[in-house]
Amino acid sequence: MEILKIQTGHIKSGDNLVNAILNNCDLKSGDILAISSKVIATAQGAAINLSSIEISDTAREYAKKYDRDPAYFQAILNETERLNGKIINDDKRAILTELKPDGLNEGTLMAASAGLDQSNIEDGYAVGWPIDPVSSASEIFSALKEYTPGGILITDSCLRPRRLGVTAQALVVIGFDPIISQVDSPDLFGKPLNVTHEAVADQLATAANFVMGNADQAIPAVIIRDHSLARSEFKGWVPGIDRSEDLFKY
């Protein structure tokens, strides 16, 4: 499998993201295109102007507690509400949120600060996920139809319990199955596996994020080539699990 970077330069609000990608890569039939959720939101003009936000008492309390901008905390509260979520925990680095975006039929998503970030965006702004990630992915997939892509993968960086550093997760997938069950498949000794599911989309998202980087690389997308994944009709949020099923219970 190959992970090929697509270096577009700085993407701004109103830019045609598909054209920026196509002008900087050689997309082939079967390629999966992994794209940063933040760059899609930026191109859509979905970045949040923090100076325009009406600040609540709750946001002021967080700001006082952690000596940070109350407008940023208000943006997190607003985004948590928009994504049908709730706050699970908080510390000086971030607020941990549990989200149930419209269209996510199975489980929930855990995200630091409701997916919002103040890096790789102009001062005074925060950027999160696209307004409707599934529609965004569908539009990109349709725009690339003549190239017969193997799929679209929208990614975001994420944290893991008890581990230092960020990896990535897949938010939305089109064109391939994001999770593949290995249940009843034999192991090396012929014993059937009982519970193993391959988080294919999340593993690809992490590989993509390693190439994209999280600083000034200006690589908002990558091509995943020679991946051997079968095409499927899947389109939507990557399924999760409920807290009652989660080993890492809060």
At 213, the pLDDT band (50, 70, 90 cuts) reads: confident
Each residue's pLDDT tens digit, 85-143: 999 999 888 899 999 999 999 999 999 999 999 988 889 999 999 999 999 999 999 99
Cβ atoms within 10 Å, residue 123: 6
User: Looking at residue 66, what is its pLDDT?
Assistant: 92
Question: Domains along the chain?
Answer: 1-43+130-241 (3.30.1330.100), 47-127 (3.90.1660.10)
Contacts of 48 (CB under 8 A, 6+ apart): 75, 79, 116, 125, 126, 127, 128
221: pLDDT strictly greater than 80? yes
As a whole number of angstroms, the distance between CA 46 and CA 130 comes to 7
In 3D space, the residue among 57, 65, 48 whose CA is nearest the CA of residue 116 turns out to be: 48
**pLDDT value at position 93?**
84
Instruction: Give the residue-averaged pLDDT of 26-54.
Output: 96
Q: What is the pLDDT of residue 137?
A: 97
pLDDT band at 50 (very low <50, low <70, confident <90, very high): very high
Q: Give residue-wise pLDDT tens across range 225-241.
A: 999 999 999 999 999 98
- The pLDDT tens digits for 1-34 are 999 999 998 899 999 999 999 999 999 999 999 9
Residue 245 half-sphere exposure toward CB, CA atoms < 13 A: 7
With tokens 């008492």, the residue in question is 57
pLDDT of residue 194: 83
Give DSSP secondary structure letters for the chain.
-EEEEE------TT--HHHHHHTT----TTPEEEEEHHHHHHHTT--EEGGGPPPPHHHHHHHHHHTS-HHHHHHHHHHHHHTT-EEEEE-SS-EEEEE--TT--SS-EEEEGGG-B-TTS-TTEEB-S-SSHHHHHHHHHHHTGGG--SEEEEEEEE--TT--S-EEEEEEEESS-S-EE-TT-B-TTSPBPSS-EE-HHHHHHHHHHHHH-SSS----EEEEES--PPP---EEEPP---GGG-SS--
pTM above 0.75, yes or no: yes
Q: What is the pLDDT of residue 250?
A: 59
Confidence at residue 80, expressed as pLDDT on a 0 to 100 scale: 97
Rounded mean pLDDT of 168-188? 91
Calpha distance 99→108 (Å, rounded)? 6
pLDDT for 183 equals 83
pLDDT band per the 50, 70, 90 thresholds, residue 224: very high
For residues 198-226, one letter each, b for 16 or more C-beta atoms within 10 angstroms of the residue's C-beta and e for the rest, the string is: eebbbebbbbbbebbebeeebbbbbbbee
State the pLDDT at residue 132. 96
Locate 20 and state its tokens.
Answer: 């920026």
Q: What does the pLDDT average to over 166-179?
A: 96
Higher pLDDT, 85 or 191: 85
